[in-house]
């Protein structure tokens, strides 16, 4: 199962972490894994390209990704980052609705 943990405090997302594998299908044919990966990496790439920030990214071959956003952003840039990361979460929730046995999203403070 893919576990997505979103850290949100005072209505601001400061980081998200993804770990595990969906095991929906064989490696290379797993639509849930591919979808979750495409959504998350696409969002991180969009944040970097469109806002110019460099989030702290930790990644491992074992299906682990953690992305933390800087706390000291100006208000406009932070709003842009928040919008992009929230759109990522909407897409991941859509995947979760259809494949709830393979992906789970949780929020922590």
- Residue 29 CB burial class (10 angstroms; 0-12, 13-18, ≥19): exposed
Task: State the total domains in the chain.
Answer: 1
Percent of the chain with pLDDT over 70: 100
What is residue 91's predicted lDDT score, i.e. its pLDDT? 98
* pTM beyond 0.95: no
Flag residues of the chain having pLDDT under 50. Answer: none
Structural domain for 11, as ranges = 2-108
What is residue 27's predicted lDDT score, i.e. its pLDDT? 82
Taking the CA atoms of 108, 13, 90 and 20 in sequence, report the sign of the dihedral they define: negative
CATH label of the domain that carries residue 45: 3.30.70.1490
What is residue 63's predicted lDDT score, i.e. its pLDDT? 85
Provide the annotated active-site residues: 21, 33
């Amino acid at each position: 199962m893919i576990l997505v943990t979103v850290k949100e405090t005072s209505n601001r997302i400061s980081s998200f972490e993804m770990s595990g594998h969906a095991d929906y299908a064989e490696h290379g044919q797993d639509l849930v894994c591919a979808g979750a990966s495409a959504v998350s990496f696409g969002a991180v790439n969009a944040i970097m390209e469109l806002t110019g920030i460099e989030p702290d990214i930790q990644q491992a071959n074992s299906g682990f990704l953690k992305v933390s956003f800087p706390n000291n952003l100006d208000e406009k840039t932070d709003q842009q980052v928040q919008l992009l990361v929230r759109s990522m979460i909407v897409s991941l929730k859509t995947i979760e609705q259809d494949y709830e046995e393979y992906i789970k999203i949780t929020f922590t403070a």
